Structure 1
Amino acid sequence: MAALLTLNAGSSSLKFSLWPDGVTRGAGGQVEQLGGAARLVFDGGDGEEAREIGPVDHAGALEVILDALAPALAGRRVSGVGHRIVHGGADRRGPARLTAEVVAELEALAPFAPLHQPHNLAGLRAARAVFPDAVQVGAFDTAFHRGHPWVNDTFALPREYYEAGVRRYGFHGLSYEYIAGVLAAEAPELHAGRVIVCHLGNGASMCALKGGRSVGSTMGFSALDGLPMGTRCGQIDPGVLLYLMDRRGMSAGEITALLYRESGLKGLSGITSDMRTLEASDDPRAGEAIDYFVFRLSREIGAMAAVLGGLDGLVFTGGIGENSALIRARAVERLGFLGLAVDEAANAARAREIGAGPVRILRVETDEESVIAAAVRAEV
């Protein structure tokens, strides 16, 4: 099989992996801190190297990535390119070839995911220009959640809005699909039970898994809902938005910028959206931002446990979930009534099993790129 390439565009990063024989992961990395002092982190097989590349957007990041991959691609034909597409709509339950018809459908969904969808599709266009003969495949973050019960899928609005697509979609589905696969392989009894997965990063959400299937999510119609995030607000009273429009005279564009780019940890701290910097800071505003983040984590873990009707396991993943022992410990410190407790030594050592109570707690590094690669392999 010829080489495959996977592209995973997040709100502040663009991850990539080259699969030189279509199966084995080769060179890869990411361009991180997009929109700011971006840098390329590249691993060609001899360890990671990082270099500053200055301010770039997602399109500029892709140019940097393709330039870095040029030596590894020399003489290799790329037969397929896989793309993480955040929004797949109400009916798409699995990956799809990105034909002109499918792309038109996805472009129409851009208002539902304005921070991600345009970048996902920009990556597709750039990849087509470089690899015109390759099969382009989309793997959708929303697809994993399409089996939700109706009560977890709707809002209490007139039915016509639900039929028009105003419903809870859920996101981070590729990450949750990967975690479900890890549980099936390593802990089948846990996979068969009731598990909450906390995907915590610049974008953050939780998923309630029952028997490996999504039955609830903290994210809803857009990737704004639920937990506070790096620059996104999370749950907010709709009355606040009415107030901003009516009394503050803010336009839809101004509110969009506020909710997506200026809120969350960045807005609460007035310092940064980066949890690493906040944890290292002695500014009281940094501590308050962390306090709010942890409070919402605890609250939503309780809510997801109610959705599941009990709890057998809790999984932390994502950039913060995988790397912050502080956040993992504080998230469960008031949840002993659910059977949750952290083993301090195991947590500090970044062990797989970090729980000390009757409910298992795991730290699992997610791998959305492998899910995307599997989707491409099925099409080439």
Structure 2
Amino acid sequence: MQAWLTVNAGSSSLKCALFDPQGPCLARGKVSGLPDAAQLSWQVGNQPVCRQALPEVAGPNWQSAALAALLHCLHSTGDWQISAIAHRVVHGGMRYAQAQWLDDACLGYLRSLESLAPLHQPYNLALIEQCAVQLPGRRQLACFDTAFHQQMPALAREYALPRALSEAGVLRYGFHGLSYAGLRSRLAELEPQRHLGRVVMAHLGSGASMCAMRNGVSQASSMGFSALDGLPMGTRCGQLDPGVLLYLMRERGMDADALEQLLYRESGWLGVSGLSSDMRTLRASSEPAARQAIDLLAYRLQRELGSLVGALGGLDLLVFSGGVGEHDAALRAQLCQASQWLGIRLDEQRNQAGTGLISHPESAVGVWVIASDEEAQMARELRQALAAG
């Protein structure tokens, strides 16, 4: 059976999905815990068919081994004939405002952006190379997280830096665009009257951001030039006074590599708690520092929501998504309680159920929990690219 493959590589996981060219998702697989404690799961339709540890998937070449393990499951559970592949690529820079067929020139440009997204871009590109080896001859499409935000107003993209730097690409790009584009499509089905109004979406996971939308177009993002900005994340610091970096360089002797290690891999919930970058572990802990990490995230969510509502001039809909946004009812309640001034009222039972509309019927703002499906959005973009020729 002919199928399309989507490949979504993160810093510690690899997700693949198979889609019928006519639309439905046929199968999904994931390798998590990379690179040292890899666990594979695979399902066909809604039926799990494989779950196992992968001790052999470790070390610097984990991308190749993880992809090979998923492709083995793929071929052992159906006669799938893969005709095209879509890849999530976190950063498309100034050049790409829509999905792009991959060639040497495109890959060269994307490699030049690796320092702007070191937890993702190198892995995204490594999987593109591995697919060319393990699935030769297939057309490969890059789907960019930054493309969704290319229509942001010019002022929302600018930093107060010398114009030459802005013209060279030092701008606010925004990320999680594939997630937001998919959520926008789903919200149009669920809220046909209000989805083009003033909407704030919160993609909350180990990587986290918020996005303000009007008329279905991104107006502002909590993330900026890199995927470090905005909310505190699993291991990333979020918003930081640039003076802290000057201090660390001058007084602590830290160079660029040391700063990258600190800001991308040792900060965020992990750094504050000293315990874990996993929100489930923090929730289960009785340590005061774990609670502090959670409360800091909730406080920054409250601050960022107020900023985005200010950019929109009001709020009609608030959407939670991502692993934490979809499953942490306490965090949703904490943010909405702090944001009652916006007219938000949660329905406690609906919030605990954690899916669909969770606001009270008398709430002035509709509050939704919608599952993120980046793979389905990638399949949409692949369909559009193939239709365009």
Asked if the contact 2:21/2:383 (under 8 Å) is kept, the reply is no
Picking from 61, 65, 71, the partner of 2:70 is 65
Partner Cα distance (2:63, 2:208) in 1: 20
Q: Tell me which residue corresponds to 1:53.
A: 54
Asked if the contact 1:170/1:219 (under 8 Å) is kept, the reply is yes
Pairwise CA distance, 1:48: 6.1
Q: Tell me which residue corresponds to 1:79.
A: 83
Asked if the contact 1:30/1:41 (under 8 Å) is kept, the reply is yes
Partner Cα distance (2:64, 2:335) in 1: 36
Picking from 359, 370, 382, the partner of 1:364 is 370
Picking from 313, 333, 347, the partner of 1:329 is 333
Residues 131-159 of structure 1 deviation map (CA, whole Å, 9 limit, x = unaligned)? 22111001100000001111110110000
Partner Cα distance (1:268, 1:49) in 2: 36
Partner Cα distance (1:203, 1:352) in 2: 22
SS in 1 for 2:194: helix
Asked if the contact 2:41/2:48 (under 8 Å) is kept, the reply is no
Partner Cα distance (1:89, 1:283) in 2: 41
Pairwise CA distance, 1:191: 1.3
Pairwise CA distance, 1:344: 0.9
Determine if the alignment matches structure 1 residue 132 to structure 2 residue 171.
Answer: no
Partner Cα distance (1:29, 1:341) in 2: 37
Determine if the alignment matches structure 1 residue 317 to structure 2 residue 282.
Answer: no
Q: Where do residues 337-348 of structure 1 align in structure 2 (5 Å cutoff)?
A: 337-348=341-352
Pairwise CA distance, 1:225: 0.2
Determine if the alignment matches structure 1 residue 99 to structure 2 residue 103.
Answer: yes
Pairwise CA distance, 1:319: 0.5
Pairwise CA distance, 1:23: 2.9
Given the superposition, is the C-alpha separation of residues 68 and 49 from structure 1 closer, same or farther in structure 2, using an over 3 Å criterion?
closer
Q: Tell me which residue corresponds to 1:274.
A: 278
Partner Cα distance (2:282, 2:117) in 1: 27
One-letter amino acid of the structure 2 residue matched with residue 187 of structure 1: E
Determine if the alignment matches structure 1 residue 251 to structure 2 residue 255.
Answer: yes
Given the superposition, is the C-alpha separation of residues 58 and 243 from structure 1 closer, same or farther in structure 2, using an over 3 Å criterion?
farther
Picking from 284, 288, 291, the partner of 2:288 is 284
Partner Cα distance (2:345, 2:36) in 1: 38
Asked if the contact 1:27/1:72 (under 8 Å) is kept, the reply is no
Pairwise CA distance, 1:38: 2.5
Q: Where do residues 101-250 of structure 1 align in structure 2 (5 Å cutoff)?
A: 101-250=105-254
- Give structure 2 stretches of 5+ with no counterpart: none
Asked if the contact 2:282/2:294 (under 8 Å) is kept, the reply is yes
Given the superposition, is the C-alpha separation of residues 247 and 152 from structure 1 closer, same or farther in structure 2, using an over 3 Å criterion?
same
Q: Tell me which residue corresponds to 1:4.
A: 4
Partner Cα distance (2:14, 2:333) in 1: 29
Given the superposition, is the C-alpha separation of residues 6 and 105 from structure 1 closer, same or farther in structure 2, using an over 3 Å criterion?
same
Partner Cα distance (2:10, 2:305) in 1: 24
Pairwise CA distance, 1:234: 0.3
Q: Could you state the TM-score of these two structures normalised by the residue count of structure 2?
A: 0.94
Picking from 375, 381, 384, the partner of 1:378 is 384
Asked if the contact 2:87/2:141 (under 8 Å) is kept, the reply is yes
Pairwise CA distance, 1:36: 4.3
The aligned length equals 379
SS in 2 for 1:118: helix
Worse-matched range after superposition: 186-195 or 15-24: 15-24
One-letter amino acid of the structure 1 residue matched with residue 13 of structure 2: S
Pairwise CA distance, 1:111: 1.5
Worse-matched range after superposition: 287-296 or 20-29: 20-29
Q: Tell me which residue corresponds to 1:30.
A: 30
Asked if the contact 2:99/2:385 (under 8 Å) is kept, the reply is no
Asked if the contact 2:144/2:177 (under 8 Å) is kept, the reply is yes
SS in 2 for 1:190: coil
Partner Cα distance (2:34, 2:112) in 1: 25
SS in 2 for 1:232: coil
SS in 2 for 1:47: strand
Partner Cα distance (1:172, 1:107) in 2: 19
Pairwise CA distance, 1:49: 4.4
- Give structure 1 stretches of 5+ with no counterpart: none
Give me the identity figure in percent: 46
SS in 1 for 2:357: coil
Partner Cα distance (1:376, 1:248) in 2: 47
Worse-matched range after superposition: 38-47 or 254-263: 38-47
Given the superposition, is the C-alpha separation of residues 246 and 48 from structure 1 closer, same or farther in structure 2, using an over 3 Å criterion?
farther
Q: Could you state the TM-score of these two structures normalised by the residue count of structure 1?
A: 0.96
Asked if the contact 1:88/1:106 (under 8 Å) is kept, the reply is yes
Residues 149-172 of structure 1 deviation map (CA, whole Å, 9 limit, x = unaligned)? 111101100000001111100000
Partner Cα distance (1:322, 1:264) in 2: 20
Pairwise CA distance, 1:40: 1.3
Worse-matched range after superposition: 39-48 or 83-92: 39-48
Partner Cα distance (1:148, 1:184) in 2: 20
Pairwise CA distance, 1:73: 5.3
